[in-house]
Structure 1
Amino acid sequence: MKKIAIIMGGYTEESLISLKSGKVVYENLNREEFDPYKIYIFRDKWVLMGEKNNEYSINKHDFTIRLTSNQTLKFDCVFNAIHGTPGEDGILQSYFHLLKIPYTGCHFNQANLTFNKKYCLTLLKEFGINTAVSFFLNRNQPFCEKKIIKKVGLPCFVKPSRSGSSLGISKVYKKEELLPSIEKAFKEDDEIIMESFLKGIEISVGVISFNHEITVLPITEIISKNDFFDFESKYYGGSKEITPARLLPSIENKIQKLAKKICNILNLSGISRSEFILVNGEPFFLEINTIPGLSKKSIFPKQLSIAGISLSDLFKKYIDYSIENSKNL
């Protein structure tokens, strides 16, 4: 029976969502094939959480756990359910790669690239993918508000380059709002993006990719009750999500082909979820999540359900693929 470490938590406000995702994974692994363990990873501690909420410290040198003086727990695979850093940006992927421990999700190079919106958008633009007009800014870099507004227009969005769940994002309507929004975004990251506002239909597209076989899940249409699809909208009922989305077959087909193209360009494996804005039938890429939420309120599990794919079956294939693929490490 394979011993599976389900890592959850993380170093950001997304940790609470990650704990919910990790719980879903824990509850849906087939106990006849897998022996799962809940591993909490926070800045101040890495621990195995026991059945009675007793904690066992992780040996970070080899990711093992000393249960007793005569028993050391080693894992056959790590199921990564951490949203944001250090689970989604390539840090932990690099760590497990060095230790030669199989892990779910894309390679650490792809994780680092996709988590950084600046790098990801810049690359995809080179392949002809539609994106919003953008302006990139690093901390302590001098800038002119007039030049930014001239390029991206108003309203616009100000975003941290490396952050998830819409943390640190602002929608700016007036020039006077730009500087406070930039300061807010810099609290989340040293690199930020200003993007033009795209008026259209927001959609979310889940993708499964194993052995270069790409499956696009039913598309979700997002109607936010707030000004945009922010943290509250995503996790606290501030949006209406319609799956499958109300799209013409021709547009749906276009989005499916685009999602596959992006997956191939980025050389992704495992599961992911991309966000787009449909402007007059043309999809504009916003961002991609390589560790999408798996909680009961998350979009990806709902798409799986519509597609008739059980979480248990997906998780088994995910782990088996990760172990098999790790033989090349």
Structure 2
Amino acid sequence: MTAKNIALLAGGYSGEYEVSINSARNIASTLNTEKYKVYTILINRESWFYNSADGKKTEVDKNDFSLTINNEKIKFDAAFITIHGTPGEDGKMQGYLDMLGIPYNNCNAATSAITMNKAYTKALVQDIENLYVAGSVQVFKNQRQSIENEIYRLKFPLFIKPNNGGSSVGMSKVLVKKALPEALERAFAEDEQVLVEEFIKGREFSIGIVQFEGEITVLPATEIISSKEFFDYEAKYTPGISQEITPANLSPNQNERIKRVVKEAYRLLNCKGMTRIDFILEETTDKFYFIEINTTPGQSANSLIPQQVRAAGMDLGEFYGKLIEEGIGR
């Protein structure tokens, strides 16, 4: 059996560059080397390149997405995108690969672009049965003065977050009106669009969903208990700040309801491969409040999806291999 050439795409242009590198490292270490020959391609604004084991840097030929190593042209059977943020999670890389006919592991360009935008995603999923969305206002950088009254109609406290991206950089919790301008500035430093959203008090969870051979599988949920007020970038990536419980302590009824809701969201958004939905169960009502969907969730050794795959009794290397084969088969 000849091993397939896999381009493992990592890096990107967002604040999660290093997180993406860690994800790629974990994926490469778990994939079956007899089935897959993995080339980790690092993507940054200056170049796309592969570093060989001896430290030699080889630039990607973007005309056909290939490498030339020792006078041998290497073309890829598939790409595994693990870039968080742009250009790997927002559809740009997917569109490029589509034009070249190279299969990949996750959602198509349209779904990736839509789900990267938190406000647009909420507008699409809000009619799903048993799914709720917090009151919110989408603010564009050049319109913030004209929309001020709409923001003040929301119920404080508020969450202010960049509308595109999933790194939680630039995110703030605002308790009073006078703190709003500074929070908006922080978010606008990361994005041209900002989502201002009512705070929902409750337990916070994250759950993986994957489709293999036409069947949607929901992984065991993770409950996130943070010592900070909310699960921001620091809480995500600083050891000891947050406790992650997988599988989460949920009743059979809650688990069944959650599975139905996230499967419907996955179908409605036309997702492919592996995604992760973050949500809150409201404290007083037990209602399911949608936070966001991640179509390229983190894959470092202790990230949520690997935790959930292990909790489901699945082998991580086999899981990643099935994602590759699923992409090739589409």
Per the TM superposition, whether the score is higher than 0.5 is yes
**Structure 2: gaps spanning 5 or more residues:** none
CA distances 1:219-275 after superposition (whole Å, capped 9, x unpaired)? 111101111001111111221111111112111111111111111111111001100
CA distances 1:274-301 after superposition (whole Å, capped 9, x unpaired)? 0001012111000000111110121110
Deviation (angstroms), 1:144: 4.7
What does residue 135 of structure 1 align with? 137
Q: What are the residue-to-residue correspondences of 1:43-192 with 2, within 5 Å? A: 43-68=45-70, 70-128=71-129, 129-141=131-143, 142-150=145-153, 152-192=154-194
Match for 2:304 among 299, 305, 313?
Answer: 299
Q: Distance in 1 between matches of 2:147 and 2:162?
A: 18
Q: Distance in 1 between matches of 2:39 and 2:272?
A: 24
Partners of 1:145 and 1:178 within 8 A in 2: no
Q: Distance in 2 between matches of 1:148 and 1:158?
A: 11
CA distances 1:167-226 after superposition (whole Å, capped 9, x unpaired)? 111111111110111111111111111000000000111111123311111111110111
CA distances 1:56-104 after superposition (whole Å, capped 9, x unpaired)? 0011111111223x31111111011111110000000000000111111
* Number of positions where the alignment pairs a residue of Structure 1 with one of Structure 2: 323
Partners of 1:272 and 1:292 within 8 A in 2: yes
Partners of 1:5 and 1:79 within 8 A in 2: yes
Match for 2:281 among 271, 278, 281?
Answer: 278
Structure 1 runs, 4 residues or longer, greater than 6 Å off: none
Match for 1:20 among 14, 19, 22?
Answer: 22
Q: What are the residue-to-residue correspondences of 1:124-273 with 2, within 5 Å? A: 124-128=125-129, 129-141=131-143, 142-150=145-153, 152-237=154-239, 238-273=241-276
Partners of 1:5 and 1:36 within 8 A in 2: yes
Partners of 1:163 and 1:188 within 8 A in 2: no
Q: Distance in 2 between matches of 1:144 and 1:113?
A: 23
Q: 1:176 to 1:262 in 2, by over 3 A?
A: same
Deviation (angstroms), 1:166: 0.7
Partners of 1:145 and 1:175 within 8 A in 2: no
Percent identity of equivalent pairs = 40
Q: Distance in 1 between matches of 2:140 and 2:252?
A: 41
- Length-normalised TM-score, structure 2: 0.95
One-letter amino acid of the counterpart of residue 99, structure 2: L
Deviation (angstroms), 1:146: 4.4
**Structure 1: gaps spanning 5 or more residues:** none
Secondary structure of 1:27's aligned partner: helix
Partners of 1:270 and 1:318 within 8 A in 2: yes
One-letter amino acid of the counterpart of residue 101, structure 2: K
Match for 1:3 among 5, 15, 40?
Answer: 5
What does residue 311 of structure 1 align with? 316
Secondary structure of 1:60's aligned partner: coil
